[in-house]
Amino acid sequence: MSHLSRVFQLLRNRQSVRGFDDRAVPPRSLARILDCGCYAPSAKEDQPWRYVVVQDPVTRNRLASEAFN
């Protein structure tokens, strides 16, 4: 499969995840995820990204409640 075909396949099969389980994300995986986030496009290449990792379930639930209330 060519690189371009793989990109098209990934775009066609993307999903919006709305449900998560309680398993912890391994630190190495989390670091890779955050690194990939830095490559997201932004207007004028400003890249104004700021990431906050919240691992405590109580804090995460409070934050979600406040953000979507």
- Does this model's pTM top 0.75? My answer is no
Number of domains comprising the chain = 1
Domain span holding position 60: 24-39+49-69
Q: Which amino acid is at 47?
A: Q
Residue 8 falls inside a structural domain: no
Residue 44 falls inside a structural domain: no
CB-count burial class (<10 Å; 0-12, 13-18, 19+) for 30:
middle
Instruction: Give the closest residue to 55 by CA, choosing from 32, 23, 16, 18.
Output: 23
DSSP character at residue 46 = -
Residue 14 falls inside a structural domain: no
Could you read off the pLDDT tens digit of each residue along the chain, which spans 69 residues? Answer: 799 999 999 889 988 888 878 888 999 999 999 998 888 888 888 888 889 999 998 998 899 899 887
Instruction: Give the closest residue to 26 by CA, choosing from 46, 47, 53.
Output: 53
